[in-house]
Amino acid sequence: MKKLLILIIFSAISTIDFAAGQTNQQLTDSQKSWVAKANRHEKNGWTYLHIEGTPEERGFQHGYLMAGEIKEAIRVLSARWVHQTALDWNWYVQKTGEVFTPKVDPENLAEIDGIVEGMKAVGIPTSRNEIVGLNGYVELMGDWWNSVKDSVKSFSPPYPKESCSSFIATGSMTKDGKIVLGHNTMDSYFNPQCNIILDILPEKGHRILMQSISGFIHSETDFFITDAGLVGSETTIGDFKSFDIKGDPEFTRMRHATQYASNIEEWCALIKKNNNGGYANAWLIGDINTNEIARLELGLKFIAYEKKKDGYFIGSNVAEDLKILRFETGRDETNIKYSSIARRVRWKQLMKENIGKIDIKLAKAFEADHYDTYRKKKIPGGRSLCGHWELDPQYDGVFVPFNPEGTIDGKVVDAEMARKMSFSARWGSSCGIAFDAKKFLEKHPQFYWMDGLLVDRPTQPWTVFKSGEGK
């Protein structure tokens, strides 16, 4: 009876306006049955989306239920692209079709095509190349663009990718001797909203619960757990300079690894396969079945891998491996004025001070930490683990004063939560400081072009999410 009621509801939805200002097409019986298996609901600033089935089914569910949000993500991203390069969005989409779409594997491409069809069903047109360009924007607007921009008549400032503060600990470091993982995303406040909790039950492979962005088949912010017992996060390797157009996009490799790996070694092998160097990250991976943790620093020419059952790994956007640091980045790892270096120092302080104490409560406190190791005081700014460049008058060599960028979330998980396919997340800054877009632009008119792109980020509570949630 419940399933019949859902089908009736979605049959009605298929004939009314759905955030597009256009008339929806009538769903086929197959499409109605696909949508009936999915659901979305809102909770404390997050949108929870459950999708399942074949790649085509999952994609259609995603596109149909998130069409308005995907359209908005494309609007925001296209505005950023035009401002960054002075080139139009159609040029970007065309180039995506030339350099990235041919390298997306068939399963991921089928899911992307499903998103296109789901959006079409509610009257919002898009294309395969546009959704690929959305999924690959960090690589395309950063790594690929930086490799070709000198041959294009366009002014383009460097695309800063220094973001995220993360740790993973186990053994003698944690209160119960088991794995604890924490991560926050530090990003531009005008980028597409990464406030999606995506629960994927695929026809093949492992179930995934991860943070994501509307229209994405991967995480991008990269915080995930799977029913194989894997937990993972990453922090971008700052000032990374290598890129190979012949390799496969990072987003397809990340999704494939997360869906099909049963242990840490399998996950690392899959994401390394045909690596293009795009979106180079230090991956922090844990296996709750073995209590092992690992760090994979995935450069292009050089790769560093460590695994242990006792200790910790940290991530703050500076390479730990000397070969990656010296040959593939331009970062001075002793300049504590840089956010990445200041945060690395802070992570090591916190780990030393909390041996044997780390649990979910402390993990939340770490991700909300405001101590600046350069200025040697607690002050929210660009150098704190919970980043607030919008409050910082200092230029650190990467971000300009008062840049509207910083921590936009917090996520924590321990072994007990991961075993139940759940984690705790906070939308907005990890510390709870609210961001008012209108007041910010009035105070900092130099960012005038962001009017209509910046959105408020009010204080939200920590919230537990789990796979299989209903409305």
Q: What is the CATH number of the domain that holds 425?
A: 3.60.60.20
Residue 136 falls inside a structural domain: yes
Q: Residue 123: what pLDDT? A: 97
The string of pLDDT tens digits covering residues 233-271 is 999 999 999 999 999 999 999 999 999 999 999 999 999
The string of pLDDT tens digits covering residues 305-324 is 999 999 999 999 999 999 99
Q: How confident is the model at residue 154 (pLDDT cuts 50, 70, 90)?
A: confident
Strand partners, 166: 183, 315
Residue 237 falls inside a structural domain: yes
Q: Are residues 317 and 442 in the same domain?
A: yes
| CA 201/CA 53 separation, integer angstroms | 7
Give percent of the chain above pLDDT 70: 93
Residue 252 falls inside a structural domain: no
Q: Are residues 18 and 141 in the same domain?
A: yes
Task: State the DSSP string of 117-143.
Answer: HHHHHTT----HHHHHHHHTHHIIIII
The string of pLDDT tens digits covering residues 389-420 is 999 998 877 788 999 999 999 999 999 999 99
Strand partners, 306: 295
The identity of residue 301, as a single letter, is K
For helices 106-121 and 250-260, angle between their N-to-C axes, nearest 10 degrees? 100
The string of pLDDT tens digits covering residues 175-223 is 999 999 999 999 999 899 999 999 999 999 999 999 999 999 999 999 9
Burial of 303 (0-12, 13-18, 19+ CB in 10 A): middle
Q: Are residues 321 and 389 in the same domain?
A: yes
Q: Are residues 32 and 70 in the same domain?
A: yes
The 8-class DSSP code of residue 448 comes to G
Task: State the DSSP string of 352-389.
Answer: HHTTTTB-HHHHHHHHT--EETTTTEE--STTSSS-BG
Cα Rg of the chain, angstroms: 21
pLDDT above 90 for 18:
no
Q: Are residues 7 and 124 in the same domain?
A: yes
What's the pTM? 0.94
Mean confidence (pLDDT) of the chain? 93
Number of domains into which the chain is organized: 2
Residue 215 falls inside a structural domain: no
Q: Are residues 138 and 176 in the same domain?
A: no
Residue 210 falls inside a structural domain: no
Q: How confident is the model at residue 4 (pLDDT cuts 50, 70, 90)?
A: very low
Which domain does 451 fall in, by range? 165-185+221-242+280-465
Q: What is the CATH number of the domain that holds 127?
A: 1.10.439
- 124, 73 contact by CB (below 8 A): no
Residue 254 falls inside a structural domain: no
Q: Are residues 54 and 114 in the same domain?
A: yes
